[in-house]
Amino acid sequence: MKSVNNREHLELLETSILHRNVLVLQYRSPANGNRSDRNIEPLGIYFTQDKWMLVAFCRLRSAKREFRLDGVLALEETGEQFPPHQFTFR
């Protein structure tokens, strides 16, 4: 799995959201330092309080989750696509 910087993360996430590509996410929680690998279905990204945030359906938790981009250690495409979700930022 390739480690990338925030700019590359954003480019890959934008493409994956547009094409509904499943990603493998290596993540370290900025809050507690716990590390995990998850398959995610990226739904949206936004910027708040000087941080980029990712909203994704997490297959491990079977629920929508938010991830801080500064906690992303690596992203990798799986080659799999996911069906559309009913998602808005409201």
Ordered by start, the domain boundaries in the chain are 6-79
pTM greater than 0.75:
yes
63-68 sheet: strands from edge to edge: 63-68, 51-58, 35-48, 21-28, 72-81
pLDDT of residue 2: 45
Per-residue pLDDT tens digits for 11-62: 999 999 999 999 999 999 988 999 999 999 999 999 999 999 999 999 999 9
> Could you tell me which residue, 3 or 52, shows the higher pLDDT?
52
Q: How far out from the chain centre does Cα 36 lie?
A: 12
* CA atoms 82, 67, 59, 8: torsion sign: positive
pLDDT of residue 16: 97
6-79: which CATH architecture?
Roll (2.30)
pLDDT of residue 39: 98
